[in-house]
Structures are given as structure tokens and as C-alpha cells.
Amino acid sequence: MKFTPGPWKAIATAFDLETAQNAIVGSFDVILPAQSMSVPEMVENANLIAAAPDMYEALKALTDLMIDISRSGAINLSEVGYAVIDAASKTLRKAEGC
């Protein structure tokens, strides 16, 4: 899975905050200018978006591990375990645009 080159950072300068502007940046490109939001909402959204690539990789690693352990027979997953794998897989596909 390829994302906009990172690391991604949530940035805001004093000028940005005074004018209610914020941005998510990846490398040197602005990913998302945030307008018409409160400053706390901009900061929360910026932090979440900046963490998205890391969360994707972590969820993928955990999902792959659960599938591998289940297939090996080392543990028997319950219905809940399979539901978690299914939900995680759907989330990963959504992030991939599928």
C-alpha cells in the first residue's frame, strides 16, 4: 500500500491558528487544508490523519498475525475473533480504496 510520502505531520503556526487555518503535510506537500472548523477540531483531525499510515500498518500486521496463528492451529479463534479479523480486513480494504 502506498501513501503520500511521509512522515506526515500535523502543523499549525500562530498565524494559522489566528486565521483558523491548519494543514496536514506529507513530505513537503499540503495534504489537507482545514477551513471552517474550530481550532480544537482542526487539531484533532490533523493528529488523526497524520497517524493514519502508522495505524494502517499496525492494523495490517495484527490482522496478518491473527490469520497466521489461526491457520497454524496454534489457537482456535472464537466467532468474535473471526468477526474482529473481518472488521479489520474491511477497514484495510477501505483505506486501500476498495
Residue 87 lies in a domain: yes
What are the tens digits of pLDDT across the range 18-61? 444 445 555 545 455 556 667 777 777 778 887 888 899 999 99
Number of residues written out for the chain: 98
Domain that holds residue 21: 8-95
Domain total in the chain? 1
Higher pLDDT, 38 or 72: 72
pLDDT at 10 over 70: no
pTM: 0.67
Q: Does the residue 61 lie in any domain?
A: yes
**How far is the CA of 86 from the CAs of 35, 51, 55, 58, in angstroms?**
35, 22, 17, 16
Q: Is residue 51 part of a domain?
A: yes
pLDDT exceeds cutoff 80 at 92:
yes
For residue 20, is it within any domain? Answer: yes
Mean pLDDT of the chain: 75
Half-sphere exposure of 40 (CA within 13 A, CB side): 0
